[in-house]
């Protein structure tokens, strides 16, 4: 039996019985993925383009997915970018999805459904951390940090056995660190570390359109000096981000998530870059890739729903 199924079975045998059918959404800037968990078993995910023209189109798209399910849904779980007030279930911000800012997404979605369905919403990076704690590379850890790298840079802190959200739901926003004030002013880590920046540096160096290059492919061309220089500079900033997190939180492990972090060459390059930081030798923090990649948000949202919907907030994930 898969580890995830074993964990769910353990919970079925406990007082925390999961709902029968939970529909999980991972809402992204460009695409929204969804899947049904039935008695803890994950179905086959689907994908739609995230409607961004207006809020009504967005809710109608989610409601359409709910309504076309062959069997009733017992709950809806959502992974959402931005600052998420989990107590009030409000998206204080929602990343690039401006139409969701300040929205009670779960509550407002009810107006588009045929009948009320319990909902729970959580920050996307926090969901990724929950997925790693549940059945990924952090199962045995009580203290770890997670960095997600894509078109944006996010993060999550799982400390003392639980997600650290902060007083204003902003803890773990690792992409907002300022790494290079002398040369870059108040530019944040996102301005140095997003995959968009990697593509832009390549486009500038080779005088090609930004959209003509897939950033991850640069890791397959490291034998080309000009490409290697671009990648090494980008990796150095990733190492700086990791170092800053470690000296502040002293986690057991830092997990790297996002599509580009699946590249086999990335982790050795990161470890080499960390060795260039003089004080790094004082720490024994392990750097790993996330186990879950494409499904991290879905798994994390599902688990957040099961642990939080009944008011069991800030419960350590075992």
Q: Which domains does the chain have, with CATH numbers?
A: 21-126+295-310 (3.30.420.40), 139-289 (3.30.420.40)
76, 32 contact by CB (below 8 A) = no
Assign 312 to helix, strand or coil.
Answer: coil
For residue 142, give the DSSP letter: S
Please tell me the predicted confidence (pLDDT) of residue 17.
Answer: 52
Give me Rg for the CA atoms of the chain: 20
How many Cβ atoms sit within 10 Å of the Cβ of residue 185?
9
Please tell me the predicted confidence (pLDDT) of residue 15.
Answer: 42
Q: How far apart are CA 27 and CA 78, in angstroms?
A: 7
Distances in Å between the Cα of 107 and the Cα atoms of 42, 110, 116, 165 are: 25, 6, 9, 22
Question: Pairing mode, if any, of strands 41-42 and 46-49?
Answer: unpaired
Q: Which residues contact 199 (CB under 8 A, 6 or more apart)?
A: 210, 211, 213, 214, 215
Q: Which residues contact 177 (CB under 8 A, 6 or more apart)?
A: 188, 189, 241, 244
Structure tokens at 249: 């939180």
Please tell me the predicted confidence (pLDDT) of residue 1.
Answer: 43
Please tell me the predicted confidence (pLDDT) of residue 134.
Answer: 86
Structure tokens at 286: 């392990």
Q: How far apart are CA 195 and CA 212, in angstroms?
A: 13
234, 197 contact by CB (below 8 A) = yes
Cα–Cα–Cα angle for 13, 15, 18, nearest 5°?
Answer: 75
Cα–Cα–Cα angle for 22, 138, 194, nearest 5°?
Answer: 85
Please tell me the predicted confidence (pLDDT) of residue 310.
Answer: 52
Q: How far apart are CA 299 and CA 241, in angstroms?
A: 26
The whole-model pTM stands at 0.85
40, 11 contact by CB (below 8 A) = yes
Please tell me the predicted confidence (pLDDT) of residue 91.
Answer: 96
For residue 49, give the DSSP letter: E
How many Cβ atoms sit within 10 Å of the Cβ of residue 18?
20
Please tell me the predicted confidence (pLDDT) of residue 99.
Answer: 95
Question: Which residue is it, tokens 């204080």?
Answer: 92
- Comparing CA positions, the residue from 1, 42, 38 lying closest to residue 298 is 42
Please tell me the predicted confidence (pLDDT) of residue 12.
Answer: 39
Please tell me the predicted confidence (pLDDT) of residue 10.
Answer: 47
Q: What is the full per-residue pLDDT of the chain (318 aa) written as tens digits?
A: 443 334 434 443 444 454 589 999 999 989 999 999 998 889 999 999 999 989 999 999 999 999 999 999 999 999 999 999 999 999 999 988 999 999 999 999 999 999 999 999 999 999 999 999 988 999 999 999 999 998 889 999 999 998 999 898 989 989 999 999 898 999 999 999 999 999 999 999 999 999 899 999 999 999 999 999 999 999 999 999 999 999 999 999 999 998 899 999 999 999 999 999 999 999 989 999 999 978 999 999 998 998 887 544 433 333
Assign 149 to helix, strand or coil.
Answer: strand
- Comparing CA positions, the residue from 244, 232, 255, 149 lying closest to residue 193 is 149
């Amino acid at each position: 039996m898969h580890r995830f199924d074993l964990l769910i079975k353990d919970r079925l045998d406990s007082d925390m019985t999961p709902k029968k059918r939970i529909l999980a959404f991972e809402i992204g800037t460009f695409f929204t993925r969804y899947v049904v968990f039935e008695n803890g078993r994950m179905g086959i995910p689907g994908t739609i383009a995230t409607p961004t023209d207006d809020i009504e189109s967005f809710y109608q798209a989610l409601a359409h997915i709910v309504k076309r399910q062959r069997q009733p849904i017992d709950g809806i779980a959502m992974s959402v970018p931005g600052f998420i007030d989990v107590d009030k279930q409000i998206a204080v911000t929602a990343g690039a999805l401006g139409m969701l800012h300040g929205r009670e997404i779960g509550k407002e979605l009810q107006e588009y459904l045929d009948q009320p369905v319990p909902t729970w919403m959580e920050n996307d990076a926090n969901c990724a951390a929950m997925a790693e704690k549940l059945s990924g590379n952090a199962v045995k850890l009580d203290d770890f940090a997670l960095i997600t790298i894509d078109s944006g840079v996010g993060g999550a802190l799982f400390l003392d056995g639980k997600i650290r959200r902060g007083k204003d739901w902003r803890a773990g926003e690792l992409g907002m660190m300022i790494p290079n004030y002398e040369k870059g002013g108040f530019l944040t880590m996102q301005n140095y570390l997003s995959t968009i920046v990697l593509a832009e540096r390549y486009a500038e160096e080779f005088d090609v359109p930004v959209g003509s290059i897939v950033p991850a492919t640069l890791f397959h061309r490291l034998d080309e000096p000009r490409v290697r220089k671009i990648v090494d500079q980008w990796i150095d900033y990733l190492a700086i981000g990791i170092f800053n997190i470690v000296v502040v939180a002293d986690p057991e492990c830092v997990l790297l998530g996002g599509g580009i972090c699946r590249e086999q060459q990335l982790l050795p390059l990161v470890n080499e870059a960390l060795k260039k930081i003089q004080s790094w030798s004082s720490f024994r923090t392990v750097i790993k890739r996330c186990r879950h990649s494409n499904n991290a948000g879905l798994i994390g949202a599902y688990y957040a729903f099961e642990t939080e919907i009944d008011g069991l907030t800030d419960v350590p994930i075992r």
